[in-house]
């Protein structure tokens, strides 16, 4: 038994109880779905209405890296970007803090209030433990034959009024170009893009571009090719994924995977960002930074610290 709470922007909060099931494909499934970063593991939540408020806490060891080690590894990561001619790759880390899991329900509610434009969720199941988060990044939205997605890249604290640097603009351009090319390859019609423009998400802000298009062809295949986008992986994708696999000392698990509602005629899917996993007495925040060949390790560390505030600012108020 497990539980799933989620709040999609402009929709009512949903509480479901049931179990997760592994799926080879989401075709034919209707309901809340999620995946790991690589989409090698796909899941659906099967509701059975037997209320269970227990939180299942994983006992696995979760690797957290300290700043000094991170900076050393990040310098090496940048060198690899240059030597392998990779335009962008996302290097992530895990930040661990003390946290009473009994406050998880209150934190979830506070996230729905603080971030109305994010997909806010909490899921707990014996198979995966307990995860929650508030993701601002739409992967794919479809309704009545019209599809939408976004390019979200480049990060600053909300209070920073300075001009966006070339590094952030380059990140955003890479993601936008990738999405546009995928939509064209899949013969989507009437492709339109608005942006990039500045978009705030609580304590941080990003550069964002909105895409809309008329859907043609297989939605599941489009989602498979869209994710992971350069916003959470890199570009060229194959080289970036290989570098991430070689460099990161932890498993991303559900971090930067897909989650949301999947139905035959309507989809609202997000990338699992600004998220954490709970273990006994601990919260493990998954944080990523978009590295280019012009990145500086200390600045990327600070970017991940800024992203952690999405959750930490509320944790400190509980």
Note down pLDDT in tens along the chain; length 318 residues: 899 999 999 999 999 999 999 999 888 899 999 999 999 999 999 999 788 788 999 888 899 999 999 999 999 999 999 999 999 999 999 999 999 999 999 999 999 999 999 999 999 999 999 999 999 999 999 988 999 999 998 888 998 999 999 888 998 999 999 999 999 999 999 999 999 999 987 788 899 999 999 998 888 889 989 999 998 999 999 999 999 999 999 999 999 999 999 987 889 999 999 999 999 999 999 999 999 999 999 999 999 999 999 999 999 998
Tokens, residue 215: 């859907």
Q: Hey, what domains does the chain have and what are their CATH numbers?
A: 2-315 (3.60.120.10)
Provide the Cα torsion 81, 228, 250, 135; round to 10°.
120
- Check: CB of residue 247 under 8 Å from CB of residue 91: yes
Tokens, residue 303: 């970017």
Angle at 272 between CA 217 and CA 147, to 5 degrees: 25
Eight-state DSSP code of residue 114? H
As separate numbers, helices (DSSP H) first and strands (DSSP E) second, the chain gives 6, 16
Tokens, residue 190: 């009437």
């Amino acid at each position: 038994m497990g539980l799933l709470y989620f709040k999609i922007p402009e929709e009512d909060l949903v509480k479901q109880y049931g179990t997760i099931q592994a799926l080879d494909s989401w075709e034919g499934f209707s309901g809340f779905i999620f995946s790991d970063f690589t989409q090698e593991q796909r899941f659906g939540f099967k509701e059975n209405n037997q209320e269970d408020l227990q939180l299942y806490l994983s006992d696995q060891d979760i690797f957290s890296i300290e700043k000094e080690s991170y900076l050393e590894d990040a310098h090496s990561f940048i060198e690899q970007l240059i030597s392998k001619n990779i335009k962008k790759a996302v290097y992530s880390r895990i930040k661990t803090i003390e946290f009473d899991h009994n406050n998880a329900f209150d934190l979830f509610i506070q996230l729905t209030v603080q971030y109305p434009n994010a997909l806010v969720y909490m899921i707990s199941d014996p198979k995966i433990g307990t995860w929650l988060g508030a993701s601002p990044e739409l992967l794919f939205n479809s309704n009545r034959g019209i599809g939408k997605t976004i390019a979200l890249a480049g990060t600053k604290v909300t209070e920073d009024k300075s001009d966006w640097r070339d590094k952030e603009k380059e990140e955003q351009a890479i993601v936008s170009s990738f999405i546009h090319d995928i939509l064209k390859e899949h013969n989507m019609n009437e492709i339109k893009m608005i942006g990039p423009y500045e978009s705030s998400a609580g304590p941080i802000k990003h550069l964002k571009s909105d895409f809309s298009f008329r859907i043609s062809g297989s939605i599941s295949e489009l989602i498979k090719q869209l994710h992971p986008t350069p916003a959470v992986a890199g570009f060229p994708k194959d080289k970036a994924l290989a570098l991430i696999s070689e460099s990161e000392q932890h498993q991303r698990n559900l971090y930067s995977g897909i989650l949301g509602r999947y139905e035959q005629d309507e989809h609202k899917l997000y990338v699992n960002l600004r998220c954490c996993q709970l273990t006994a007495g601990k919260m493990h925040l998954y944080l990523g930074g978009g590295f280019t060949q012009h990145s500086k390790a200390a600045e990327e560390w600070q970017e991940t610290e800024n992203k952690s505030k999405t959750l930490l600012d509320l944790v400190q108020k509980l």
